[in-house]
Chain A
Amino acid sequence: MSIQSSVEVQTEWGIVSARQAGRNLAKEIGFGGVDQARITTAISELARNIYLYAEKGEIVIEAVEETRGTQKKKGIKITAKDRGPGIKNIREVMEDGYTTSGGLGAGLPGVRRLMDDFDVDSVMEEGTTITAIKWLR
């Protein structure tokens, strides 16, 4: 599979489009309703962060595959990229209870929980790239 879509995020419309693209692909890959909701929630959170803190950026959504021995795993990968200010204190941000939303469980720690693999790469003044993958079980 090489389906990939990229959505520009600069307005709340962009957030909705990114969700839509994520849901379409998640359905296609075979994720159930609950997982679809998890994936779109993760996309929402990442896209909102771009919109709020970096002003603009993009969300790339693609299908991924991994082979381990004879087992093939399918999954969905979300990449959120921006050239915004970067995240200063990633370690603190990844701690529960840090978000400005305060104790509602969302934010980046929430994204990490919703997805299976999670990676943040952020350089001050240069930007942030966050990737998250959910595997189909």
Chain B
Amino acid sequence: MAESKELLHDQYANILRAYLEEQSEQGLYYAQQFSKRVLEEQISPEEVVSLHLEVLEEFFPDLPKGAHESFELLLEVMMGYGLAYREHQSLRDKTKELEAEINVAANMQQTFLPDEIPHVNGLDVGVLSVPASKMSGDYYHFVKDDHDCVGLAIADIIGKGIPAALCMSMIKYTMDSYPEQRLQPGALLENVNRVVEQNIASNMFITMMYGSYDSRTHQFNYAGAGHEPGFYYKAAEDTFEELHAKGIVLGIKRNTDYKEYQLTVEPGDFVVLLSDGVTECRTDDGFIEREAITRLIRTYQHLPAQEIVNHVFYELERAQGFQLRDDFTLIILRRNV
């Protein structure tokens, strides 16, 4: 420490001497580089002031009266900066620690999500879920049984960040504990609702859409709990319809029925499920319209489902200047032609 102080002293003396001899831009450049050095060494402003005075008095032992004293005043003024600087350093360290903790939690949260999309003959599935910050409030879920029947869920925990993420584990375990209801979206939501209502603080809500697809009959059954409507693309008519399901948000009312809807999926038809982070993309011109999303999907419709969702996400991310305001989840499930 003392050694490096001496080194800094000598360096500064050289820089100052050179600059006093000739006031060149190069000299100022060296001074700028020196300021990086002192920051690196965590030298506080008052020490720099004192260093300057020290060197100055070596060069000019007979400083005019008052010069030395004026530096005492400056030193005192710089004390506050020194304190703020040190606080800033310690807060920065704290932030790093917190960030590391959150990274661990975020990794753990990833394990709640399916690690791969089930492969089902005749079905093309694409999923993309991107959190706005490290922890996500969006949840999705896939299961497949031995008969090539698929259950899929998308849920949005109202509220973001860590509380939402904690809540997510509960939904996952609830869904895992009702395997027999995988193909009964209405009954499944009724169960999840009961668990959520009993276990979650009354100021937390969850919206959810659950669907099941039977690849033997090509039936798609679904039910929703206040979730952002998805889309249904009818290949024969080349149109998008709203995939709307009536149902109250999870966690509000204890005994709630969830109406089940049914669709027959024809070749080329597809289901789009999304979280409100997709529809609530905000650009400088205001919210993006739902139509804009179907238009985007249309642009990439010829591609595999995974590539469609990737492209749609990229376009929406770009439209927002690459800053997500809400967690984003988009799922496409298409019956192959």
Contact of B79 among A41, A97, A103, A109 (CB under 8 A): A41
Query: Which of the 9-residue segments B80-88, B130-138, B220-228 touches chain A?
Result: B80-88
A114 to B80 Cα, complex, angstroms: 11
A41 to B81 Cα, complex, angstroms: 12
List residues of chain B with CB within 8 A of the CB of A34: 46-47, 50, 75
Interface residue B91 (Cβ < 8 Å from any Cβ of A): yes
Interface residue A106 (Cβ < 8 Å from any Cβ of B): yes
Chain A residue, CB-CB nearest to B53: A33
Q: Is there contact, CB below 8 Å, between A105 and B50?
A: no
Q: Is there contact, CB below 8 Å, between A33 and B50?
A: yes
Chain B residue, CB-CB nearest to A45: B83
Interface residue B214 (Cβ < 8 Å from any Cβ of A): no
Least CB distance, B85 to chain A, in whole angstroms = 7
Interface SS majority for chain A: helix
Chain A residue, CB-CB nearest to B87: A105
Q: Is there contact, CB below 8 Å, between B76 and A37?
A: yes
Q: Is there contact, CB below 8 Å, between A106 and B83?
A: yes
Contact of B86 among A32, A37, A97, A105 (CB under 8 A): A105
Q: Is there contact, CB below 8 Å, between A104 and B83?
A: yes
Interface residue A38 (Cβ < 8 Å from any Cβ of B): yes
Q: Mark A108-120, 1 if CB is under 8 A from B, else 0.
A: 0110011000000
> Closest 3 A-B residue pairs measured CB to CB?
A105-B87, A105-B83, A105-B84
Which residues does B use to contact A, with CB under 8 Å? 46-47, 50, 53, 72, 75-76, 79-80, 82-88, 90-91, 94
* CB-defined A-B contacts under 8 Å, sample of 26: A32-B50, A33-B75, A34-B46, A34-B47, A34-B50, A34-B75, A37-B72, A37-B75, A37-B76, A38-B46, A40-B76, A41-B76, A41-B79, A41-B83, A96-B87, A96-B94, A104-B83, A104-B84, A104-B87, A105-B82, A105-B87, A106-B83, A110-B86, A110-B87, A113-B87, A114-B83
Which residues does A use to contact B, with CB under 8 Å? 32-34, 37-38, 40-41, 96-97, 103-106, 109-110, 113-114
| Extra pairs beyond A34-B75, A97-B87 (4, CB < 8 Å) | A32-B50, A41-B79, A96-B94, A104-B83
